[in-house]
Amino acid sequence: MKNQILVTGGTGYIGSHTVVELQQAGFDVVIVDNLCNSKAEVVDNIEKITGIRPQFECFDLTERQAVRDFFGKYKQIKAIIHFAALKAVGESVSKPLEYYRNNLTALMNILEAMRDFGVPNIVFSSSCTVYGQPEHLPVTESTPRLPAESPYGNTKAISEDIIRDFCKATQGVSAIALRYFNPIGAHPSALIGEAPVGVPNNLVPYITQTAAGIRQQLSVFGNDYNTPDGTPIRDYINVVDLSKAHVVAINRLLNGSNKANYEYFNIGTGRGLSVMELVNAFIKSTGVDLNYKIVGRRAGDIEKIWADTSLANNELGWKAEKNIEETLLSAWNWEKNVRGIK
Ligand code: NAD
Ligand code: UDP
């Protein structure tokens, strides 16, 4: 019988790609999502890619009883991948209580259900935001976490701590937190991808929407940073590569090869790219010209960060494989598909 995995937030951007990879690796997937930032059609598109329809339950994970009812019904779940969260950094500054309530209450309900219904394993979506602007680059897992810049970032740091303490106190549960760097791109089928609501905050969706003519111009936020070309540096990780890291983490938990009952890993490429390097790679890989303009810095942006991925490479046996050109081309193909551009 196939091992059954619960994917919360499974109709979202990273969740949907991970469902595909899990199914292709032979897992039976149940999605829970309340569709606050995704659409039910994603389930159809996952089925188009894999030929297997994941089970889908639509409810809000902050509702404690609904979570308990769910685990009472699905008794075979062997592990959880917990993606469901609100993730807009700027919005979290103006709506801190909504962010703390959604992200922390959902996590607490899930951990409580793991304890009470005997689900032994969880993989958690954390973020490189927990490092703030590190003093030394690249960041390793032993780089100290810094106070969060936003309520969103703080929910990630607090969630890691809650999971760590829960694992310490609870016999038989194990967790892996994956600290994602900047996920970008889409599935090569162009059937699933990132679908931001309204004006995108993130660089790559803004680029693809500008290229598609939805936005007039990309604003490049600052070229006076202490970097070779003056624009900020990030570690952009292909979403399919990132999704595969989750399959590896799940296998590690299921076969008990984890070295501690709470572990955390950086998931990036190990390579930093500046905004202008990324813009130029987009133009080169797609052949589409991009209207952009250098403007002032965006408040709260850090200057540079990229991952040391040695621990994930050596311990998980996972490595990012896709290059930036094919990743940006996949993002563009997805945008074209969404907009009906030939
Ligand atoms: P997303 O918004 O596309 O997906 C999250 C999904 O969770 C959405 O489908 C949303 O409807 C669902 N959801 C939110 N609150 C819920 C609730 N209370 N009950 C049920 N469903 C709920 O986001 P994503 O980019 O796929 O991110 C997935 C995870 O990875 C999040 O935890 C996010 O914080 C984390 N992360 C994302 C990035 C990034 O740049 N995308 C970087 C680091 C970490
Ligand atoms: N960025 C930009 N223009 C945009 C969106 C983002 O110049 O319209 C820059 C931003 O200043 C940052 C980088 O792109 O240096 C990545 O930003 P994103 O919001 O995608 O990720 P994060 O800030 O979370 O690393």
Query: DSSP readout, 148-203?
Result: -SSHHHHHHHHHHHHHHHHHHHSTT-EEEEEEE-EEE---TTSSS----SSS--SH
The answer to whether the beta carbons of residues 53 and 92 sit under 8 Å apart is no
Round to whole Å and give the CA distance between 67 and 73: 10
Q: Is the CB of 189 under 6 A from ligand 2?
A: no
Instruction: Evaluate the omega torsion of the peptide bond into residue 138 and state whether it is cis, within 30 degrees of 0.
Output: yes
Res 1: pLDDT: 87
Sign of CA dihedral 3, 182, 34, 44: negative
Residues in the chain predicted with pLDDT less than 50, given as ranges, are: none
Ligand 2 pocket, mutate which of 235, 301, 305, 324 (most atoms under 8 A from CB) = 301
Token pair 């779940």: residue: 77
Token pair 């010209």: residue: 289
Q: Is the CB of 82 under 6 A from ligand 2?
A: no
Interval 224-259: pLDDT, tens:
999 999 999 999 999 999 999 999 999 999 999 999
The answer to whether the beta carbons of residues 119 and 64 sit under 8 Å apart is no
Distance 202 CA to ligand 2 centre (A): 5
Question: Residues 131, 152, 206, 292: which is the catalytic one?
Answer: 152
Q: What is the DSSP letter of 312?
A: I
152 as an active site residue: the answer is yes
Q: Is the CB of 12 under 6 A from ligand 1?
A: yes
Q: What is the DSSP letter of 268?
A: S
Q: List, in order, residues 6 or more apart from 340 with CB less than 8 Å away.
A: none
**Ligand 1, atom 41: closest residue by C-alpha:** 183
Res 145: pLDDT: 97
Query: Closest by alpha carbon to 99, among 211, 41, 90?
Result: 90
Q: What is the chain's length? A: 342
Res 53: pLDDT: 98
The atom of ligand 1 lying closest to the CA of 106 is 18
The atom of ligand 2 lying closest to the CA of 232 is 15
The answer to whether the beta carbons of residues 313 and 321 sit under 8 Å apart is no
Distance 70 CA to ligand 1 centre (A): 20
Domains of the chain: 4-184+236-267 (3.40.50.720), 203-234+270-336 (3.90.25.10)
Query: Closest by alpha carbon to 298, among 223, 229, 247?
Result: 223
The answer to whether the beta carbons of residues 193 and 14 sit under 8 Å apart is no
Q: What is the DSSP letter of 316?
A: I
Res 300: pLDDT: 87
Query: Closest by alpha carbon to 234, among 274, 186, 204, 267?
Result: 274
Ligand 1 pocket, mutate which of 31, 32, 57, 125 (most atoms under 8 A from CB) = 125
Strands in the chain per DSSP E: 4-8, 28-32, 55-57, 77-82, 121-127, 174-180, 182-184, 218-221, 233-234, 236-238, 262-267, 273-274, 292-295
Round to whole Å and give the CA distance between 76 and 314: 31
3 state SS of 219: strand
Token pair 């509702």: residue: 63
Rounded alpha-carbon distances, angstroms, from residue 66 to 57, 58, 223, 310, 328: 10, 10, 48, 40, 39
Supply angle C-alpha 148, 244, 45, rounded to 5: 100
